[in-house]
Amino acid sequence: MTLRMPGEWEKQEAIWLAWPHNKEDWPDKFEPIPWVYAEIIRYLAQVERVRLVVKNAREQKQARNILKRAGVLLSKVDFIIAPTDRVWLRDSGPTIIYDGKKTRIARLAFQRLG
């Protein structure tokens, strides 16, 4: 059986993002980053569903507040509570795998990196 992971450019049900929380990723520049992400999500939610990973309920509340203030269409955002260490989910988030007949056969769970 041939297995493949779809390319980032292929049609998708939703886009997966993680809410920024690791201040070490943006040393001395973190303060505006959640607002930058809100703008990205505001744009994306106009054209597709956004699955937003947050590390806990408190972070979900904070993210929802910022997104609402930024004018994001919250009905297009699904919040998923799961631990992450970075916002880049291609390496640590759920991965979809298809068989040769384009049938989704696996969605691998989140992994906490190093």
Q: Is residue 96 in a domain?
A: yes
Q: Is residue 62 in a domain?
A: yes
Predicted local confidence at residue 27, as pLDDT: 92
pLDDT in single tens digits along all 114 residues of the chain: 788 888 878 888 888 899 998 888 889 999 999 999 999 999 999 999 999 999 999 999 999 999 999 999 999 999 999 887 778 776 667 777 888 777 877 666 554 443
Neighbouring-strand partners of residue 108: 95
Which pair of structure tokens corresponds to residue 91? 């390496």
Question: Residue 94 is part of which domain span?
Answer: 14-23+32-108
Q: Is residue 102 in a domain?
A: yes
Q: Is residue 49 in a domain?
A: yes
Q: Is residue 3 in a domain?
A: no
**Nearest CA among 106, 109, 85, 110 for reference residue 1:** 106
Predicted local confidence at residue 112, as pLDDT: 45
How many domains does the structure of the chain reveal?
A: 1
Judged on CB neighbours under 10 Å (0-12, 13-18, 19+), 37 is buried
Q: Is residue 113 in a domain?
A: no
Q: Is residue 2 in a domain?
A: no
Predicted local confidence at residue 90, as pLDDT: 67
| Residue whose structure tokens are 């390319």 | 7
**Nearest CA among 110, 91, 109, 101 for reference residue 3:** 101
